[in-house]
């Protein structure tokens, strides 16, 4: 009899012979296996017994495992992972699913750091299609996170791991299957109502999708902490940080979408995942394009923008994955969606068809046409000047330095390191950089002077007070050189400290 599944390589479960382990979560392990009939490679998810777990707990997890098979079997959608087979053998329960070799969305994020706007939008559109389909069938996922989105070789994203899904409207199927004192989900992505023990609905999934979108665009999760309860308080009390203040290439309208998706009150969120995806597309592109249903006519704003729903978060981007429940990490890399180009409309009048029309009528219209052309030219010139306006280099450099120390104080070292120029990063590894700030509790910066140099760079001279965790305080003259990059951004190119 098999009593564990850490050494299942070579074992046959049903028609599947296990080849190797490819992922492990809180309650199960995922293997790649060869299925004899039909002959193919598959993924096998096996319920993982833990030493010391009592029979009641094991039966609870087994019930969740069986429910996952039943739930997914009734959800037939192109963006939801199918279940090939469910079985129980030698006290082991297992699911057989398609094998996707490239990795989960979590693994792709780990490799790429973060996604461009178009790629994130493509994934959100697919995730929204899966969620809207499940929600219309009263299935709430309750554990959305990058590790539970898998990717096919053609870039198709599929939602997986319905182990703690809730079926609304059926008390027996919707009962809470969890152990006393355990979080039902992954705290880094959980909506406030889940922490408070309130009833959940489809708006809980929309909150989590907003957190996943934030992570796709920034490479980090918004709320972190040394334990689940710290993270819980941040989800309940703190607004989502603004991405635009971290990266000016992310439009303010994208921040607006994120703020509405992750509103603390459920009634303030989007009413569907599709509505979130639609607004995200409008925020990024400014106009509808292929891939979204229910898009209003061009020029008609969606409710979130029309109502002035711009509740931007504080500039504190904190991130750390502190607790996971389950993950099936396998799937290929994604491909970005292609842009749809639209042809701008032109303004003008048609020529008269009747060649015998009176010249007097034509002459009367010429002043109006001339006035219209002059007005359009004036608007064009004004737009060029308005679009080309940029703050002076000294102000842009000052903003970068202020953001740098805001990130340091928030212990968001990845974001701070990203504000160093590639030239600076060559001489300073991330490990050395982050270790250098490990004992800092808070940094207080005062600008003494900031000047533009002949080569276009900016030199800032400051006084820096460093408050250490051991209650000591050090004061320095900190001088930084900030240089504009080829893409137009400003980054710190060098820095020096001199103790006072």
Helical pair 202-218 and 117-136, crossing angle rounded to 10 deg: 170
Strands (E), 413-489: 440-452, 458-468, 473-484
Dihedral sign (CA 258, 263, 266, 268): negative
Helical pair 117-136 and 273-285, crossing angle rounded to 10 deg: 160
- Collapse the DSSP code of 279 into the 3-class scheme (helix H, G, I; strand E, B; otherwise coil) and give the result: helix
Report the alpha-carbon distance of residue 340 to residue 39 in Å, rounded.
40
CA-based nearest residue to 496, from 448, 457, 461: 461
The CA distances from residue 170 to 4, 74, 108, 130, 174, in Å, are 34, 15, 37, 21, 6
Report the alpha-carbon distance of residue 300 to residue 281 in Å, rounded.
14
In the chain, the largest separation of any two C-alpha atoms, in whole Å, equals 103
CA-based nearest residue to 191, from 280, 263, 137: 263
- The catalytic residue among 132, 143, 407, 412 is 143
Residues 6+ apart with CB under 8 A from 38: none
- Collapse the DSSP code of 266 into the 3-class scheme (helix H, G, I; strand E, B; otherwise coil) and give the result: helix
143 catalytic per annotation: yes
Q: How many CB atoms lie within 10 A of CB 125?
A: 23
Structural Rg of the chain based on CA atoms: 28
Looking at the annotation, which residues are catalytic?
143
């Amino acid at each position: 009899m098999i009593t564990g599944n850490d050494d299942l390589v070579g074992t046959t479960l049903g028609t599947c012979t296990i080849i190797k382990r490819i992922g492990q979560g809180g309650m199960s392990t995922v293997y790649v296996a060869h299925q004899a009939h039909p002959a193919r490679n598959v993924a096998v998810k096996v319920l993982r017994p833990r030493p010391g777990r009592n029979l009641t707990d094991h039966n609870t997890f087994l019930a969740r495992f069986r429910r996952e098979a039943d739930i997914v079997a009734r959800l037939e959608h192109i963006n939801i992972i199918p279940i090939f087979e469910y079985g129980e053998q030698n006290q082991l329960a297992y699911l057989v699913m398609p094998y996707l070799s490239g990795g989960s969305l979590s693994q792709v994020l780990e490799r790429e750091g973060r996604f461009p706007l178009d790629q994130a939008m493509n994934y959100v559109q697919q995730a929204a299609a899966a969620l809207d389909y499940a929600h219309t069938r009263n299935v709430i996922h309750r554990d959305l996170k990058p590790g539970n989105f898998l990717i096919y070789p053609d870039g198709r994203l599929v939602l997986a791991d319905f182990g703690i899904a809730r079926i609304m409207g059926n008390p027996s199927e919707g009962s809470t299957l969890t152990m006393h004192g355990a979080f039902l989900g992954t705290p880094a992505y959980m909506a406030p109502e889940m922490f408070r023990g309130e009833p959940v609905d489809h708006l809980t999934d929309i909150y989590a999708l907003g957190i996943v979108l934030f992570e796709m665009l920034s490479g980090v999760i918004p709320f972190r902490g040394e334990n689940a309860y710290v993270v819980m308080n941040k989800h309940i009390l703190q607004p989502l940080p603004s991405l635009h203040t971290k990266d000016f290439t992310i439009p303010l309208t994208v921040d607006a979408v994120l703020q509405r998706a992750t509103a603390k009150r459920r009634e303030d969120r989007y009413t569907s995942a599709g509505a979130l995806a639609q607004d995200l597309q409008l925020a990024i592109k400014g106009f509808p394009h292929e891939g979204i249903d229910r898009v209003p006519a061009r020029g008609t704003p969606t409710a979130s923008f029309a109502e002035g729903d711009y509740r931007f978060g504080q500039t504190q981007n904190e991130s750390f994955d502190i607790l996971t429940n389950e993950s099936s990490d396998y799937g290929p890399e994604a491909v970005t969606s292609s842009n749809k180009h639209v042809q701008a409309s032109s303004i003008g009048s048609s020529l008269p068809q009747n060649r015998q029309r009176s010249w007097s009528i034509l002459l009367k219209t010429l002043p109006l046409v001339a006035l219209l052309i002059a007005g359009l030219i004036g608007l064009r010139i004004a737009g060029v000047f308005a679009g080309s306006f940029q703050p002076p280099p000294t102000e842009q450099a000052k903003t970068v330095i202020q953001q740098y120390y805001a990130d340091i104080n928030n212990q968001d070292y990845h974001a701070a390191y990203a504000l160093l120029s590639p030239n600076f990063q060559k001489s300073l590894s991330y490990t050395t950089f982050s270790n250098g700030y490990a004992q800092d509790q808070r940094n207080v910066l005062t600008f003494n002077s900031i000047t533009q140099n002949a080569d276009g760079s900016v030199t800032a001279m400051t006084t820096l007070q460093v408050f250490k965790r051991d209650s000591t305080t050090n004061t320095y003259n900190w001088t930084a050189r900030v240089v504009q990059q080829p893409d137009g951004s400003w980054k710190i190119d060098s820095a020096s400290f001199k103790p006072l």
